[in-house]
Chain A
Amino acid sequence: MVGEAEAHSGWAARLRRFACPPPMEYCEFCRAEIPAEHAHLLDVAGRRLACACRTCALAFAGRVDAAYRAVPSRVQAMREFYLTDSEWSGFHIPIDMAFLFHSTPQARPIALYPGPAGAAEQALSVDAWSMLIANNPTLADLSPDVEALLVNRLRGRRDYYRASIDHCYALVGLIRANWRGLSGGGEVWDLIDSFFARLRLDGDGLAEQRHD
């Protein structure tokens, strides 16, 4: 029944949105104006997300050999996940937050973790990745490059999501833009908390990502 709850917005919010609309964004392929919520295509080799209109995104949907790949924006919280603390330390990821996926250009699994300067890479052994999949078989059908296992073990949490890569890069961007000083500052950690809170809501099916 949680899934049926819909979001409403009131007259004041609608008037404000009309009077001060957010800056327009453009499709990087055909230059059409696109709304704030839009589709993304992954530049596979450059590991960069490109904003796309619906038509351009659809043109790439289902093509796995192209330079750009459609990113089906979704997130699913994985309620039952098997990963021990020692297995996690075995991945040698310096912080308790990362996203793991299979990279086609590198032909192996990798982990990226966010930091003040953007995403840093940590190679994953094929064995470690196979072990993860063996223990959590739903990971077997992650789409290479565009879908990841997003891990949040900060402050004692043990949250695991199957998340499209746009969500993962959104987290990277948020941290890079808001990191202050050596420890990041209080604000960035609050923003990270609220990023994951939103992911939990979306991952529970409370909100569907729409690209109209």
Chain B
Amino acid sequence: MPDRDRARLDSSLCHIDVLIKAIEEAPESSAREPARELIEIVLDLHALALARIMAAAAACEDRRLLSTLAEDAQIKAMLLLHGLHPEEAETRVRRALDRLRPQLGVQGVGIQSGRVAVEAGRLVVHVFAHAGGDGEQRRAWRREIEQALLDAAPDLEEIVIVGLDDVDSPASPDNDLSRAALARG
């Protein structure tokens, strides 16, 4: 996906939150309900059409079409919104951690994923993370990890990340990355 498109998608998603807040806090409550209903109807129309597209893609003998659709960032965002993405949230979160590992590794941050499971309606992600650096740096890494996991599963009502408070705790001996992080820190 070109950078320009990526930036546009990101800014649209940010803008959604801002606009929702604006509508919810609008002083004229009479306008709030039609606005909400309008969004509901437009979302429904898209959901129905998207569901048919995905069903047609799934029926295709060539599985490449389905995976192309599922992997395209722009399409993926819409599939997630409508609960139509073919991958489970657990899988998406695990993949996000796998992608993050080398990127953070070169900065001296070691992360390992532990159990990722839906427990009683919320996704609980256990992470083992170790990093050097000062407090501010560690907070920035923590935000980055949280954001990456949230981006992978924006459709979940609740995602709980356990273990990021360890970002500055001593390394476990079986973790090469964390040893490297400690040596540098």
Contacts and interface: CB of A to CB of B under 8 A. Distances in A.
A20 B16 contact: no
For the complex, would chain A's binding face be called helix, strand, loop or mixed by DSSP majority?
helix
Interface residues of B, dominant DSSP: helix
A46 interface: no
Given A5-B161, A18-B24, A20-B40, A12 B154 contact: yes
Contacts of B164: 5
Given A15-B20, A19-B40, A10 B150 contact: yes
B51 interface: no
Contacts, number: 86
B180 interface: no
19 contacts: A2-B162, A4-B165, A5-B160, A5-B165, A7-B122, A9-B158, A10-B151, A10-B154, A11-B13, A12-B81, A13-B155, A14-B20, A15-B20, A15-B39, A16-B81, A18-B20, A198-B119, A201-B120, A201-B124
A197 interface: yes
B80 A198 contact: no
Interface in B119-166: 119-122, 124, 146, 150-151, 153-166
Interface residues of A, number: 27
Given A12-B80, A197-B119, A19 B124 contact: no
A5 B13 CA distance: 25
B46 to A, nearest CB: 11
Interface of A: 1-2, 4-21, 194-195, 197-198, 201, 206-207
B36 interface: yes
**Residue with the greatest number of chain B CB neighbours at <10 A, chosen from A7, A17, A195:** A7
Given A10-B155, A197-B119, A15 B81 contact: yes
B88 interface: no
Contacts of A7: 122, 158-160
Interface residues of B, number: 35
Given A4-B165, A19-B40, A13 B119 contact: no
B17 interface: yes
Q: Closest 5 A-B residue pairs measured CB to CB?
A: A10-B154, A198-B120, A12-B154, A12-B155, A1-B165
A5 B165 CA distance: 8
Contacts of B146: 8
B121 A19 contact: no
B43 interface: yes
Contact of A8 (B17, B119, B161): B161
A14 to B, nearest CB: 6
Interface in B26-40: 36, 39-40
A197 B123 CA distance: 12
